[in-house]
Amino acid sequence: MLGAVIGDIVGSVYEWNNVRRKDFGPLFHENAFYTDDTICTIAVADALANARDPGEALMDWGRRYFDNGGWGGMFSRWLARGEVEPYNSYGNGAAMRVSPAGLLANSVDEALELAKAVTEVTHNHPEGIKGGQATALAIFLARQRVTPANIKVAITERFGYDLERTPDDIRPTYRFNETCQETVPQALVCALTASDFEDAIRNAISIGGDSDTVAAITGGVAEALFGVPEDLAAIGWSYLPQDMRLTLTVLYQKAGILL
- Alpha carbons within 13 A on the beta-carbon side of 40: 29
Residue count of the chain: 259
Mean pLDDT computed over every residue of the chain = 97
**Distance (Å) of CA 224 to CA 168, 185, 196, 205:** 23, 17, 11, 19
Q: How many domains does the chain have?
A: 1
pLDDT surpasses 90 at 75:
yes
pTM above 0.75?
yes
Q: Which tens digit of pLDDT belongs to each residue from 113-156?
A: 999 999 999 999 999 999 999 999 999 999 999 999 999 999 99
> How high is the pLDDT of residue 258?
77
Tell me what the mean pLDDT of segment 189-196 comes to: 98
Q: Do 7 and 34 form a contact (C-beta atoms < 8 A)? A: no
pLDDT surpasses 80 at 94:
yes
Alpha helices in the chain (DSSP H): 2-11, 36-49, 54-64, 73-81, 93-96, 99-104, 108-119, 126-143, 148-159, 167-170, 184-192, 197-206, 211-226, 230-238, 242-255
CA distance 237 to 68: 16
> How high is the pLDDT of residue 158?
98
pLDDT surpasses 90 at 222:
yes
Tell me what the mean pLDDT of segment 232-239 comes to: 98
Q: Which tens digit of pLDDT belongs to each residue from 163-191?
A: 999 999 999 999 999 999 999 999 999 99
Q: Which residues pair with 179 in a beta bridge?
A: 91
> How high is the pLDDT of residue 183?
98
Annotated binding residues for Mg(2+):
35-37, 210, 212-213
Collapsing DSSP states into helix, strand and coil, what is residue 67?
helix
Annotated binding residues:
35-37, 210, 212-213
> How high is the pLDDT of residue 257?
87
CA distance 173 to 209: 10
pLDDT surpasses 80 at 259:
no
> What is the Cα gyration radius of the chain?
16
For residue 107, what is the domain's CATH number? Answer: 1.10.4080.10
Single-letter residue type at 96: M
Considering the chain, what percentage of its residues have pLDDT values greater than 70? 100
Q: Which tens digit of pLDDT belongs to each residue from 108-120?
A: 999 999 999 999 9
Residue 242: band (very low, low, confident or very high) from pLDDT cuts 50, 70, 90: very high
Q: Which residues of 106-144 are buried (b: 16+ CB within 10 A; e: fewer)?
A: eeeeebbebbbbbbbbbbbbebbbbbbbbbbbbbbbbbe
Q: Which tens digit of pLDDT belongs to each residue from 24-39?
A: 999 999 999 999 999 9
Q: What is the DSSP letter of 177?
A: -
Quick one: 212 exposed, middle or buried, by C-beta within 10 A (0-12, 13-18, 19+)?
A: buried
Q: Do 12 and 32 form a contact (C-beta atoms < 8 A)? A: yes
Single-letter residue type at 106: N
> How high is the pLDDT of residue 251?
96
Please give the residue range of the domain that contains residue 136: 2-255
Collapsing DSSP states into helix, strand and coil, what is residue 259?
coil
pLDDT surpasses 90 at 86:
yes
